[in-house]
Structure 1
Amino acid sequence: MLTLCQTPDMNAYGGVDLDTSLGYLLKQASSALRSAMEAALRPLGMSVTHYSCLELLAQRPGLSNSELARGAFVTRQSMNVLLRALEKDGDVTRPAQAAVGKVLPAHLTPRGRRRLETASVAVRGVELRMLRGLTPAMQSQASGILRTMVRSLSEED
């Protein structure tokens, strides 16, 4: 059963106690997940950001550079560099000129879809490994707790 403390535990000098800090534990989990995903994607010639971009475009075709950057948690500049590389490799297409404004909507190519399918299998394996030992009820509870945390941190004070 997952439980949460109402307030972060403090150590002797008033700082956050890393052994009991939920925020620190979340950061450790995030780092471990990213490392495992990078290891699974490396043999496919992809990074987590590369995979995230392809996944976002599969689920939401036509996203702009800025939208992809937000969805993949990277800067617009980093996403622009990645999109150029994905275009060069034949995974993504974008128009040469924007129809309106500056937005160049991106779309997966058939090659990009095939690469995504292979990468998705690898990433799903990492997720299954991460969830090993959790019952479906525990997974549902964890998902609800994490969504609540995201909502709480997104709210204005």
Structure 2
Amino acid sequence: MTASENLGVLIKETQAILHQRMDEVLRPLGLTVPQYACLQALHDTPGITGSELARRVFVSRQSTNIVLQGLEKRGLITRSDDQGPRRERATELTGAAVALLGEARTGVAAVAGRMTGGLSPADARRLHTLLTTCRDALAGR
């Protein structure tokens, strides 16, 4: 295996463990990682399109709709009855979602801190730059 292939495997292993650790802190809150990512994206980018939401949650548009339906049933989001452009419905967080998201962010931040705890601030910034470069190369940017 080449050095580049080894690096790709290491990144994938890291992502899988990160997902598992995030799941461990989110599960007691009744959230999955995709639900958390969805709430986070809706909070950070009000009016986000369904397509962009799917990209940020790393699932298909159809799966995003299923995630949204579950969040709506739990009273964590409200969705407009009126369809906007491209048949999309405006989606907003409820007060309960904002409170839950605050708790969830605390747990996820602890996981991220654990992941980068052995890095100096300069190393963490450098890793961010390097991973951004790798992502952009694959995305054709």
Under TM normalisation by the shorter chain, which class is it?
A: over 0.9
> Is 1:49 aligned with 2:39?
no
Q: Which amino acid aligns with 1:24?
A: V
Q: Match of 1:31? A: 16
Distance in 2 (CA, whole Å) between partners of 1:99 and 1:56 is 19
Gaps of 5+ in 2: none
Q: C-alpha offsets along residues 31-52 of structure 1, whole Å, 9 cap, x if unaligned?
A: 1100100011111110110000
**Which structure shows the bigger proportion of residues in strand conformation?**
2
Alignment root-mean-square deviation, CA: 1.7
**What fraction of aligned residue pairs are identical, expressed as a percent?**
36
Matched, 1:79 2:64: yes
| Runs of 4 or more consecutive aligned structure 1 residues displaced over 6 Å after TM superposition | none
- 1:59-74 alignment to 2 at 5 Å? 59-74=44-59
Which runs of 5 or more structure 1 residues have no equivalent in the other structure?
1-6, 11-15
CA distance in 2, matches of 1:98, 1:149: 37
| Aligned match of 2:128 | 143
Change (3 A) 1:97 1:30: same
Aligned-partner SS, 1:105 = strand
TM-score computed with the length of structure 1 as normaliser: 0.84
- TM-score w.r.t. the length of structure 2 is 0.93
What is the total number of aligned residue pairs between the two structures? Answer: 141
- The structure that has the greater radius of gyration is 1
Contact 1:68 1:79 in 2 (8 A): yes
- The structural deviation recorded for 1:65 is 2.5
Query: 1:8 is matched with which residue?
Result: 2
SS in structure 1 of the partner of residue 46 of structure 2: coil
